[in-house]
């Protein structure tokens, strides 16, 4: 199995992007990635487009993006793993390059959610829970699903609504320092606490926004990566797992079981001790679609012990300077969550973190040279954990 490195990344401005078409938005990220890698379109041997669609009128996004970006006649496919689609695209590109079938592949994430009115978007996302039973019969939408997790977690570990708001405050703090973020302004716990309930105990500021955005990652095999760049970022391991979509069948509500499985797989491949990953990992992005999801992620990834995430957020342990900086690009909460692009957005951000290339006031200190992306689809239906490394992995 050969090593695979990231040799170029692109990241559009996230937000409400009515100023561009889907293809133009994708091109912002594709062009940046090609430029960073010093490549032209003809050098890309295969491209994978992650996009969930549904709100867009274009049924074949890979086709129109490939054509607009002059990637035709290269092979392509669209992939969907709900909100983890972007990480799935990177995983499949990783397999493809590792196999030796191609030397260079590109994962392109894109979503234009604001093409549909908000109620339609909320309904469509709701169908991506458990469509047949919980959506149709109980009207559960995503804030409702994560509210169930929040009440379970609060009841079990004594977390409060203020604790949840502190996640939002941290992520807005870093979003305010990231020019690519949808929300570039700080908030206070008071502001979050006084925002209206969406699904008790989750309030408006506990929820990530509806976002348009694109991100791209170019992967290359070891020899090609060495030709192309002096600063490759290696893929050390990827874990992926699925979980039941039925909340009624879950063994626990204070954790996402698929995330635990995926994290273990990723740690094993990356040869990182799963009992103390914080010793190795310098910076992480986790899937904070709702504030409660970030607290569960600290524990599911083994960063904090069960029930300790509350103390971590109370004591600022996931700010830069704490135990491990998390979502210092603003996270889904403030940078935004353009569903199909979120995974590539995390991986592009972490590549730049490991290379110490982000804005100074949100750059994590790089010591051990590992970074981790935790990307969830549905309410834990899909989980992908990707570990990046500054040093070449030993296979």
Among residues 100, 139, 158, 365, the one that binds its own copies under rule CB under 8 A: 100
Q: Which is nearer to its own copies, 12 or 245 (CB)?
A: 245
Among residues 12, 245, 255, 342, the one that binds its own copies under rule CB under 8 A: 245
**In Å, how far from its chain's centre is CA 267?**
18
Q: Known catalytic residue: 337?
A: yes
Among residues 267, 280, 303, 382, the one that binds its own copies under rule CB under 8 A: 382
Shortest separation between residue 133's beta carbon and its own copies, angstroms: 10
Q: Known catalytic residue: 83?
A: yes
Map residue 70 onto helix, strand or coil. Answer: coil
Shortest separation between residue 343's beta carbon and its own copies, angstroms: 11
Q: Which is nearer to its own copies, 57 or 137 (CB)?
A: 57
- The residues near 371 (Cβ < 8 Å, ≥ 6 apart) are 281, 282, 283, 284, 285, 350, 351, 353, 354, 387, 388, 389
- Interface of this chain with its own copies, residues 247 to 286, rule: CB under 8 A: 257-258, 261-262
Measured CA distances, 42 to 93, 104, 233, 299, 376 (Å): 17, 10, 22, 43, 33
- The residue from 11, 172, 337, 381 that is catalytic is 337
Site string for its own copies, 203-242 (x = CB under 8 A): -----------------------------------xxxxx
Shortest separation between residue 139's beta carbon and its own copies, angstroms: 15
Q: Is 131 among the residues that bind its own copies (CB under 8 A)?
A: yes
The secondary structure of 229-260 as a DSSP string is -S--EEEEEEEEEE--S-GGG-S-SSS-HHHH
Among residues 20, 24, 43, 64, the one that binds its own copies under rule CB under 8 A: 64
- The residue from 83, 165, 192, 289 that is catalytic is 83
Q: Is 20 among the residues that bind its own copies (CB under 8 A)?
A: no
**Could you tell me where the beta strands, DSSP code E, fall in 231-341?**
233-242, 281-285
Among residues 1, 155, 185, 190, the one that binds its own copies under rule CB under 8 A: 1
Question: Torsion angle, CA of 225/230/231/237, rounded to 10 degrees?
Answer: 30
Q: Is 287 among the residues that bind its own copies (CB under 8 A)?
A: no
Q: What is the C-alpha separation between 257 and 149, in angstroms, rounded?
A: 12
**In Å, how far from its chain's centre is CA 163?**
22
Do 161 and 153 meet the contact criterion of CB atoms below 8 Å apart? Answer: no
- Interface of this chain with its own copies, residues 352 to 381, rule: CB under 8 A: 377-378, 381
- Interface of this chain with its own copies, residues 65 to 94, rule: CB under 8 A: 66-67, 71-82, 85, 88, 91-92, 94
Q: What is the C-alpha separation between 151 and 201, in angstroms, rounded?
A: 7
Among residues 30, 62, 169, 326, the one that binds its own copies under rule CB under 8 A: 62
Q: What is the C-alpha separation between 137 and 129, in angstroms, rounded?
A: 12
- The residues near 119 (Cβ < 8 Å, ≥ 6 apart) are none
Shortest separation between residue 249's beta carbon and its own copies, angstroms: 8
Q: What is the C-alpha separation between 59 and 46, in angstroms, rounded?
A: 20
Number of other residues whose CB lies within 10 A of the CB of residue 40: 9
Residues with active-site annotation: 83, 337
- Applying CB under 8 A, the residues found at the interface with its own copies are 1, 46, 52, 54, 57-60, 62-64, 66-67, 71-82, 85, 88, 91-92, 94-96, 98-101, 124, 127-128, 131-132, 238-246, 257-258, 261-262, 377-378, 381-382, 384
């Amino acid at each position: 199995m050969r090593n695979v490195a990231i040799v170029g990344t692109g990241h559009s401005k996230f937000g409400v992007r009515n100023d561009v078409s889907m293809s133009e938005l994708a091109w912002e990220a594709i062009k940046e990635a090609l430029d960073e890698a010093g490549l032209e379109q003809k050098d890309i041997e295969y491209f994978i487009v992650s996009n969930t669609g549904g709100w867009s009128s274009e049924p074949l996004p890979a086709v129109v993006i490939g054509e607009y970006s002059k990637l035709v006649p290269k092979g392509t496919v669209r992939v969907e793993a709900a909100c983890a689609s972007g990480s799935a695209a990177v995983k499949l590109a990783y397999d493809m390059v590792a196999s030796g079938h191609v030397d260079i592949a590109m994962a392109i994430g894109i979503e234009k959610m604001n093409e549909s009115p908000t109620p339609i978007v909320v309904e469509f996302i709701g169908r991506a829970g458990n469509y047949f039973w919980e959506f149709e019969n109980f009207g559960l939408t995503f804030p409702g699903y994560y509210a169930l997790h929040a009440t379970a977690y609060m009841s079990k570990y004594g977390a409060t609504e203020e604790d949840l708001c502190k996640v939002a405050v941290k992520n807005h703090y870093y979003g305010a320092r990231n020019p690519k973020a949808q929300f570039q302004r700080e908030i206070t716990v008071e502001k979050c606490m006084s925002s209206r309930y969406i699904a008790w105990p989750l309030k408006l500021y506990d929820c990530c926004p509806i976002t348009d955005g694109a991100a791209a990652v170019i992967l290359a095999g070891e020899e090609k990566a060495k030709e192309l760049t002096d600063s490759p970022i290696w893929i050390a391991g990827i874990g992926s797992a699925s979980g039941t979509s039925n909340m009624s069948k879950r063994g626990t509500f204070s954790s996402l079981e698929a995330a635990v499985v995926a994290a273990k797989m990723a740690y094993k491949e990356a040869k990182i001790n799963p009992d103390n990953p914080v010793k190795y990992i310098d910076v992480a992005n986790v899937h904070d679609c709702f504030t409660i999801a970030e607290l569960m992620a600290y524990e599911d990834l083994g960063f904090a012990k069960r029930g300790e995430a509350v103390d971590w957020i109370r004591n600022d342990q996931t700010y830069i300077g704490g135990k491990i900086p998390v979502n210092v690009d603003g996270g889904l909460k403030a940078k935004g969550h353009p569903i199909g692009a979120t995974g590539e957005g995390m991986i592009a951000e972490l590549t730049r973190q490991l290379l110490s290339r982000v804005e100074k006031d949100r750059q994590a200190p790089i010591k051990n040279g590992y970074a981790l992306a935790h990307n969830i689809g549905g309410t834990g239906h899909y989980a992908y954990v990707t570990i990046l490394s500054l040093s070449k992995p030993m296979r």
